[in-house]
Structure 1
């Protein structure tokens, strides 16, 4: 073998090694991207559940306020009736 052939063969071997390293790096990057996409999908699901829970909490608070207002009105009405009865007795 001549020196030129050996140099060409060495360069080819070097390129093969470098291409293998690049291929390995690409495979690792691809697997990490897949993990990130999976995590992103899980996070999107979590955000949806949180949004639903927030909506339900807001509705519950509105219902509690309404019920509290109704209870306050009933209590005030009962108090007025009781005072009127007490005034009649005195």
Structure 2
């Protein structure tokens, strides 16, 4: 693995950035760039991350985010950067 894009969407509340950053730190994932915004009562965030040092495979990491999504009442998605770029190319 190398670079991935993580998207986070959920009802705004205190601690969302902390919760997501903790998952990243626990999995040795480095934040390369981050953008966040409030849209009415919803929090949105897009994070470009370096997963080079992450000991988990991509499917294992995707399952980690799926589990944490349920625990945190957020939608957290992990995508390979190249796939993300291809999907959003005009």
Q: Which structure is larger by alpha-carbon Rg, 1 or 2?
A: 1
Q: Larger RCO: Structure 1 or Structure 2 (Cα < 8 Å, ≥ 6 residues apart)? A: 2
Of Structure 1 and Structure 2, the greater strand share is in 2
TM-score calculated relative to the size of structure 1: 0.19
Of Structure 1 and Structure 2, the greater helix share is in 1
TM-score calculated relative to the size of structure 2: 0.19
